[in-house]
Structure formats: C-alpha cells, structure tokens
Chains A and B, each alone.
Chain A
Amino acid sequence: MTLTRRTLLASTMLLTAMGPAFAQDVAREDTVIFDLDRTIKDPENFNWFTAGTKREHGAHQAMWEPLFILNYTTGELDPWLATAITPNDDFSEWTMTLREGVEWSDGEAFNADDVVFTVNMVKGNEELSAREAAVVRTQVASVEKIDDLTVKFTLSEPNPRFPTENFGVRIFGSFLPMPEHVWSEVDNPATFAFYPPIGTGPYTYASGATNRMIWDRNDDWWGAKTGFRDLPEPQRLIWLETGGEESRAQLMATNQLDAAQNVSIGTFEAIRFQNPNVIGWFADYPYAWPDPCARQLEINTTVAPWDSAEMRQAVAAIINRNQIVNVAAEGATTASRTMFTEYGAMQPYIDAVIEAGHGVPAQPDVEAAKALIEGQGYTMGSDGFYEKDGEELSVDIHVNSASTEYTRTIDVIVEQLTRAGIKAKAVPVENGVFWGEVLPFGSYEMSYSWLACGSVNEPWTSMSRYTTASVVPVGERSPGFNNTARWDGPEAEAYTAIVDRMGDMAGDDPALPGMVAEAYGHLAEGVPFIPLVQSAKLLPMNTTYWTGWPTAENAYNHPAFWWGHTHQIIHNLEKAE
C-alpha cells in the first residue's frame, strides 16, 4: 500500500511539473471553446453530404458560410453569401443574387458557378444523403447561371418557402455551396473526403482529431476586406468533445469551456454555484431556450374510446401543464399556449390563435372534463375509475424510455389522468422501437412526442403535418411521420382545406394569421394531439473570457451553437474586460 501510494504521488508530481504542452500558442483569452457532444469518427473527412460528424465540429459554424441566416426573432432571412432571393408570381422560379467580393480561403472567387455546380452535383448523385442535399434534389427541377452573381432556380412545384427551407439554416444546417474548382475534379462525390477543406468563412482548418477540431482566424478574410463584417475577435475556435453532463459541467465550472451543450437544471445551478460567470438564455427561471420541437401528447384517433373528439377534449381539459413544468422539468421550461414554439417570429400567429380563443387553457378544468366523459355514457365506479358497460376507462401511454424528461412527464400525466378517473398507464419503449415501430404505424393509444415540430417563422410547416392527406390506416407507415394520430373526418377536412390554401401563400402574407386562427379552431375541436410544454435546451454560456452571447435580452438569434447560424454568434463575441 505505502509503496503504491508513494509511486503514485511521485508520478503525479512529475507529471504536473511537466504540464500540458501547446503546439502553437494562442492565449486562452483569445480562444473560444465550444462543446461537442459527438465523437468526430472521421476527422479527415469533410464531406458534409454524407452521414457522420462532419459539420457541427466548427465546419459549418466557422469555415463554410450559408447563403442566408434565418433570424428566429424577426423571422427574416439575414443575407450572408447571398444578398437577395426573389420569386416569380407563382413561386415556381426563384432568382438569387450573390454578394460581390466573396472569396474561398485559397483566393479563388466564390460565384454563381459554385452554386450551380453544387446543386447539379447533388441532383446527379443519390448517394449524397444529407437531409439538405435530399431536399434540394427533390425541390429543384433545374438551376441556371444568369451571370456571375445571379442564379435562377426552377422548382418541380411551386414553393413559397423555398429559400427558408433550403438556404437559411432553418433547423441545424443549410445547403452549403462547395468550391467548384475542387469538387469538379472528383470522380465520386460520395466518397470524396475534401481534406484539407476550404471555405469562405473567417476561420480556416488548423488541426483535427477524433475529440476536437481547431480553427484559426484568417486575417485575410473577404468580409473584412469588403466591409461586410469586421474580423471576429476570437483568434482561435475549438470544438471539444466532452464526456457527458458531468465532465462538461466540470469543464464549465473551471473555465475550460465557453459554451456547453444541454445540461439539466440541477447541474446548471451547481455550475453557477461554482462559477457565477455562467449564464443561460434567460437570466432567471426557466433559464433554458426552447428548441423548435415543443412537446405534445399524441392521441390515436382511430382507437375507441379515443376516437371520440369529446373524449380527447376531456383529456385536454384534465392536463395541468404547470405541474409538468414544476415537477417534470423542475421549472426549466414554460407551458405551451398553442402548438407553436414561442419564438419572436411566431408571435403574430400565436397571438391570433389565442385572441380567437383556441389556445390551450392555462388552468385545467377537471369538472368540464368529467362532464364530457359522463356525456359519453361513463359512470364513476366505486374504485374511482370511470366505467361503461362493465369496462373500465383506461389508456396506455407509450413513451420513449431514452430520456428521463420523457418518462417523468408521462408519469405526471398518468397521475393527473388517474386522479380524474381514467386508469392510465405508462408504457416505456426503447428509443428505436418507439420511433421505428410505435409512432409511424399508429400502434399506440396515446404517446409522448413532438411531431408538430417544424415551424419556426411561419405556421404552415407544422400545421401541414396534420392534414388528411397524410392519413393512412393503422399498421401502415404514416408518410414522413405526419398525422400519426390519423385524424380524419369533417373537422379534419375543414382544417386541411384552410391549411392547403396557406401552403400556396407567401410566408409574410398579411392574411395568414387570420387563416391560422380559423384552422386552429378545427384543430382545437378535433384534438389529434394536446400541446404540453416547450422543449427546454439549457445551454450554459461562460462570460469569463467572452461576452455577447445570445440571450433573451440580446436576441440577435438563438443560442444553438452546433447549428450553421453560429457565424452570427462568433461575430457578436467580445473579449471580456
């Protein structure tokens, strides 16, 4: 024992004395360290068109720039590599103007050829399987270069949301044009590694390994030369893989990390206890930023007794969202008011729905629910559960067991339903089975999910997911995971008619809020799903070395720093005093 201890101490001292070694010296206060929650399995592969960690390690936040960046607060597309994009009358052709003076980091000019080449490459190669590539492949019929800075897209069918869906980092990524002068030499774009990579961004690739990616500032960046933006302040950016919540918390508490991935509220409080410089999106509860996929209780509208809209309305009236917020989320989220996520850009639609009286009520109304259930012929049994024809009113709620957030929320709902007289039971299912078998095939009565996800700056994307066009029988796959509730009937048809008309209108059409409210009326009657709470992403940001992080007060955009809009965050960072 003594022997081992002595050896141990000796080696500890020796190693501490040597300390870590740095290859090139950039001071800690000139470096920003971002958290990466994935391993970079293939650090010398920058082919973002194929699966794997090939973008969110800094490549699409620092090296490659998007054409536009969607602003979650205003709902506008902030121009970036492109300056404008305009449709023809029926939204079937879009003309994009590119910014002048943009250069690849090897000095070649970025122009319409790069855009046209990349779109055509994706169109001609099914193996380029990234979601952004697949969407462009289906939506774009042809692309043509008008002049060096102008590109015209002809779509397979009219789409008023074409720019947001493809070029604006709406969710996670965006279609990124690649340098023609590099990629045109390649035989097979699916196996091309694109190493070393080049981009148009203010940072260039410095070093990569499986657990971290280093990017150094390119002081010769085109944006500073043309006056588009000043050079960003950080000299070096690092994306570092951390080993789960515990280690990322320790790194954050000891200032070895500047922006961390999602942590639980308890961990966040513990970090702040040790390091008061750490902040969240809000200065106080709920601290967390809502991600685009608000939580909901999906109801299979084909299974008795839940095929009756009254029964579904009764469930909606029983649910107490505030209890979910306080117990299941420990205060780190807020109750949903509609199916939409509470972004600045969504406010006009949320307001319209609430004004029309279709929003979900702030407080539960169990008495009204009981009246609805009794109206369906149920009577309260001696054991406190409703029954009809000798059968107890019961429900199985399928829930993905992958996260305690899910199971905890459903446990709270089960408790609420049980107390109201419905014999509810949680059925936890493994993640793969839940998404692969339960949801798409409708093999559930109720389930915890976020399938109304999609809208961030316009209402149609989310609403279109519950139209009758997506209804298939139980046992068949719901197309695109849309309307897995299989909501059908006159109410659903009236809803679909309005939503279909919305689909052909521009995203900023002044008639939209009114139509949303009208359609939502049918949705609130039909209740194919019940909105629950916002989805909480609690991302700790460290102000010890850097300030200017996005917050609710300084909401120049949202804080999900693994998304392609992070260019804006980097340009906003300022050295702390």
Chain B
Amino acid sequence: MTTQNAAGAAKPDLSARQIRRMKRFDNPWRNPKLTWGAALILGIVAMGILGRIFWNMDLVFTGSAPLKLPPLGFENLRGQPGQTDFPLGTDGAGRDLLALIVIGAPNSLFVGLLASIIGMSIGIFLGFSAGFLGGRTDDTIRILSDVMITIPPLLILVVFQAAFGDVSLTLMAILIAAFMWQSPTRLIRAQVLSMRESGYVQMARLSGASTMHIMFREMMPNLVPYLFGSFIANVTTSIVTAVGLEVLGLGPQRIPTLGRIIYEAINSGALIQNLWWWWGLPTILLAVMFIGLLLINLGLDEVSNPRLRKL
C-alpha cells in the first residue's frame, strides 16, 4: 500500500519526490521489496483466514465433491466443465482444491515459521553463549554446529519418518528445527565476538552492566537485521525440507499441505490425465511463498546495507 501511494504521488514535482526519497532513506524499513514480500506472505495468511470464514471447509473431505472437475472456464478429459461450486476444480479424491489450498498453504507456511522460530531461538541462545562465554563452551558449541551443518536434514528425517510413520505438523516442524539452528548460531557467535570488543559494549561493561543486560539490551538491537535475514532464509529452507519430505509421501498423512497435495497428484497420474490444476495450483502457491520470502530477504539486505538500494 505504501508503494502505491509513493508511485501515485511521484509525478507532480521533483522536490516532493526528492523529499520522499529522503524520507525513504530516513526510514529504511519502508522499502518496496520488503513491502511487496510481506504483502505476498500476508496474502497467504489472509487467504487462510478469509477462506475459513467464507468458504465451506467441509470440502477438504474425501468424496465431498465430484471427482477431477476442472477450474471454472475449463474442461477436463471427460468433457465436464468447471462448476461455480468448486471454482478451482477438484482433485481425484473428490476434494475441492480451493478448500485444500486454503488449509494447505498456511499449513506449509506454519511448518516453515515454527521450525525457523525454534531453530532461531536455539541459535540465538547458543550463539550468544558461545560468543560471550568463550572457552570450553565456545569450543563445544562451535564443533557441534560444524558437525550438524554437515548432516543433511532430509536424510535423517527420512530415517525418522520411515520408522515412525505418521507425524503431526508440529512434530515435523520440531524435527526440521533440529537442523535449523546451526547457521544462526555461527552468525551470532561471529557478530558477538566482533562486537564484544567494540566501544559501546566495553562501555557498558565498564559501567558494571550485567552479562544479560549487555547481551540483550546492548547487542541484540544491532543484530536484529542479521537475525531477521537469517530467520527468513531459514523459513525458506524449512519449507523446502518439509515439501521434500511431503512429496516423498513422508509428511503428515492426512493433513493437507502443499507438498502432500503435489504428492497425491503425482501418485494418481495427474499429468497424463491433464489435471494440471491439481499439481499446478499448489506449485504456484509455493512459488508465491518463496518469492515473498525472497523479496523480504532482499529488502532486509537493503535495510542493513544502504549501498544496495540503488539496485
């Protein structure tokens, strides 16, 4: 919305535009990439909320709709036209695709966010501990994160899910989080090490501030852009990992997620049957999600690194 205002008012006179430009540089958070990215992600969340209010959620159940109907305005191989009751078509088990997506897309986002939040929390804690306490703690944490960063999460998760079978969304997020703490840990540790020697932290220490105070009041605010960038990158990685598991058929078995919808489409021969909406729509939503996250990340880069804004 901000960008639209900016674009709409950009014509009249140069000085106003310059002023606005100045303002934009004053408040780096009003960055168009950031805004667009956030809008895309919020759009998916909004779709989840509004869909639940305005759409019949019972249509996610098997057999609640005719099978393999195309979206409105299209025809399937059997010559059936799309119906207004199921505007995005239905899948091979008689589920409404709109309802599936309304539930599935936020679920996929949820896994990504939850895994990333848990991973970040662990990462922040370990990173600060390592950087601040140093010594043996530092060594242990450093080696542990070096080790864990080498182990491909997907493989361990495949072993886990093959052994345990069905899992809940939350459990899957927690499992993924077990592989999402290493890079924030490394990042924060490095930053803390360099900041520890910087003037304001030394000052705080000289004035007798507690370790906690220094960590969270003095150092944390300066780390926020880095943390946020790392957080968003982790959300993307978590979603990729979750989708990777789901398309193997290893995620939650009965909860709609974008990966699961694609898995079912592929397993039912959706491609040769020309049921493009079945695999296409979840893929588009995944793309929207990734582009949103990427834009946020690019925007954050520009916020923390003003030199990039010209790009």
Contact = CB atoms under 8 A, between A and B. Distances in A.
B80 interface: no
A246 B165 contact: no
Contacts of B275: 266
Nearest to B76: A266
Contact of B165 (A245, A412, A430): A430
B280 interface: no
Contacts, number: 72
B273 A267 contact: yes
Contacts of A267: 268-269, 272-273
A411 B268 contact: no
Contact of A411 (B62, B253, B269, B273): B62
Contact of B274 (A263, A270, A407): A270
Given A270-B269, A327-B94, A433-B165, A412 B63 contact: yes
Contact of A408 (B62, B253, B272): B62
Interface in A249-297: 249-250, 253, 263-264, 266-267, 269-271, 273
Contact of A330 (B62, B67, B165): B67
Interface in A421-452: 428-433
A266 B63 contact: no
Main secondary structure of the interface of B (DSSP, over half): loop
Contacts of A73: none
Contacts of B267: 244-245, 404
Contact of B166 (A244, A273, A328, A429): A429
Interface in A309-334: 327-328, 330
A401 interface: yes
B65 to A, nearest CB: 11
Nearest to A402: B249
A263 B272 CA distance: 12
B269 A327 contact: no
Contacts of B268: 245, 264, 266-267, 404
Contact of A270 (B62, B63, B94, B272): B272
A246 B269 contact: yes
B269 A245 contact: yes
B156 interface: no
A271 B166 contact: no
Nearest to B166: A430
Contact of A246 (B77, B93, B272): B272
A328 B275 CA distance: 18
B97 to A, nearest CB: 16
A415 interface: yes
B68 A407 contact: no
Nearest to B164: A430
A246 B271 contact: yes
Interface in B58-81: 61-63, 67-68, 77-78
Given A245-B267, A408-B62, A415-B63, A432 B272 contact: no
A173 B297 CA distance: 59
Main secondary structure of the interface of A (DSSP, over half): helix
A418 B77 CA distance: 34
A92 to B, nearest CB: 46
Contacts of A253: 272
B302 interface: no
Nearest to B67: A330
A428 B93 contact: no
B254 to A, nearest CB: 5
B264 A404 contact: yes
A433 B61 CA distance: 24
A265 to B, nearest CB: 10
Contacts of B68: 266
Given A246-B269, A271-B272, A401 B62 contact: no
B120 to A, nearest CB: 31
B273 A407 contact: no
A393 to B, nearest CB: 21
A411 B271 CA distance: 25
Given A246-B272, A411-B62, A401 B254 contact: yes
Contacts of B166: 401, 428-430
A250 B165 contact: no
A430 B166 CA distance: 6
Contacts of A266: 68, 92, 268-269, 273, 275
A407 B95 CA distance: 13
A250 B272 CA distance: 7
Interface in B81-109: 92-94
B287 interface: no
B266 interface: yes
Interface string B121-162: 000000000000000000000000000000000000000000
A328 B63 contact: yes
Nearest to A404: B93
B80 to A, nearest CB: 12
Nearest to A430: B165
Most buried by B among A246, A273, A412: A246
Contacts of A428: 166, 253-254
Nearest to A434: B165
A408 B93 contact: yes
Most buried by B among A266, A401, A429: A266
A270 B77 contact: yes
B169 to A, nearest CB: 15
Contacts of A433: 165
A411 B272 contact: no
Interface string A179-192: 00000000000000
Nearest to A407: B62
A407 to B, nearest CB: 7
18 contacts: A246-B269, A246-B272, A249-B269, A250-B272, A264-B92, A264-B268, A269-B77, A270-B269, A271-B272, A327-B67, A407-B254, A408-B63, A411-B63, A412-B63, A428-B254, A429-B166, A432-B165, A433-B165
Interface of A: 244-246, 249-250, 253, 263-264, 266-267, 269-271, 273, 327-328, 330, 401, 404, 407-408, 411-412, 415, 428-433
